[in-house]
Chain A
C-alpha cells in the first residue's frame, strides 16, 4: 500500500481538463511544499512534470499545473491531448525516516 493515495484511473476527452488528486498527511504533503508529479508512458522512465507543488520544469507544457490544499495535492491537465495518456505519480518529502513517499499512480485515459 502506497503512502500517498491517488485514484487508480481518470479519463477525459480531448480538449477537456482533468484533475488527479494525491492525498497524504501532515507529515508529508500537508507539511511541506515538496510535492512533485511524474508522467510515465509504458516502458519509459518517469518524467518530471511539476516540482515544489506548482513549479513546471523548462520544456513542460503550461497545460500542466499543480496545487495543494491541506493534505491533498492536485495535478491538473488542461486541453487534454492524446499524448497525455500515461500513468501519473505524485511524490512528497516526508518527515519520516523514509524521506520520500510516492503515490500508487493514476492511469489517465484520453477517450
Chain B
C-alpha cells in the first residue's frame, strides 16, 4: 500500500525552538506539499516542491522553510517556533499534472508552548 509517512503524530515544542517535521513518500512522486490546518480556516498551503532541491512558496510561508534533498523526503522547518504555529501539519505528494494522485499523510499535531 502506497504511503506518505510523517515522522511524528504528536509533537510538543517550546517557543523559540527549531522544529523539523519530516515527510517521506514511497510512490516516486515528483510533487510534495506541506499544509497546515486550523479550525475554521481549512487547509492552507505553506510550501511545495516539484523536484529535488526545488521549492515554491504557498499561501502562508512566513516563519517556515523547507528542504528537499532527496525525491522521497520533504522536510518542513520552523526556524524559531512560536505559539501561533500550533497547528495540524499535513504532508502530501503527487505526480505532476495528476491531481487525483494526491496522497496525504496522517498529519502531525504540533503544540508550541
Do A and B interact? no
Residues of chain A having any CB pair with chain B under 8 Å? none
